[in-house]
Amino acid sequence: MPFMAYVNDVLVPLSEARVPVLDRGFLFGDSLFEVMKVHRGRAIHAPEHVARLLDAAGQMRFNDLPGADVLQARIERVIRASELVTGYVYLQLTRGAAPQRSRVSSTRPTVVIFVDDSPGPDPALVENGASVVTVPDDRALFGQFKTTSAMPRIASELTAMDNECYEAIYKHKDGRVFEATAANLFIVKCGRILTPVAGRHVLAGVTRDKVMALARGMGIEVKERHIIYDELLEADEVFLTGSVKIVVGVVSVDGHRIGDGHVGPVTRSLRDAYIGQFLPEQG
């Protein structure tokens, strides 16, 4: 059965899904999105993702927003219709299609939902760890929203690809490091976990919050504060978190070995704890 997509009030095969040319998400990147891992046919942490999306849309003054229960029901419908067991579901909300290409106007939002069966990071990468590269943080200061104005992020992804790295980490000119292009950043030093403060430069990731809670439940101290580049290089462990990545260890930053060059015990224990609590029966 082909994967299905939900576009406003219509469920169609993904290959046939369309939005108007005058949709502001297409023209201006005037839109927001969320990605949720699907495990055993269920979107993981869907309420948190939907709440974050609607909160951002409210702050950006989108009109006539659908309710959280409506969006969650549509997510479930697309997953069921696509018969997806494992993968991810993508939810995008745009300001909608205006009568003409012009300034912001009152329009009904466009809702797009579709699925993909990508399983997540390669098991070998999870086992052996990832290499990353740092890039200048040239993003517009909307890091707390997941906007589709993605050219700065794409440029950073290309830099990572050019350096044969899994991810790129944003570094400010003052030496602070923030997050990766599609993941939150953590370091481990002397048994304590540190992560950059969520805000203008750092997304308050849903998986980030879950992992911090798990760590605290395991008796590990977790502190949110600014992290500078030298601390990143000198960390005992570095790891990334994301809805599809879950927890991925980093063993190299800009060619500099992290710790002993292997995925560390804190990283492994947190990934195992997350899978055990939220993704049972996943290896």
What's the rounded Cα separation, in Å, for the pair 101 and 93?
18
Helix (DSSP H) and strand (DSSP E) numbers for the chain: 8, 16
Residue 32 clears pLDDT 60, i.e. is over it: yes
Q: What is the pLDDT of residue 70?
A: 96
Handedness of CA 112, 44, 170, 255 (dihedral sign): negative
Distance separating alpha carbons of residues 263 and 146, to the nearest angstrom: 29
Report the C-alpha gap between 261 and 188 in whole angstroms: 14
Confidence of residue 79 (pLDDT cuts 50, 70, 90): very high
Least confident segment among 17-21, 75-79, 98-102, 221-225: 98-102
Q: What is the pLDDT of residues 84-136, one digit of tens each?
A: 999 999 999 999 998 878 777 778 999 999 999 998 999 999 999 999 999 99
Domains belonging to the chain, first-starting first, are 4-116 (3.30.470.10), 123-278 (3.20.10.10)
Which whole number is the average pLDDT over 41-70? 96
Using alpha carbons, select from 170, 144, 134 the residue that is nearest to residue 254. Answer: 134
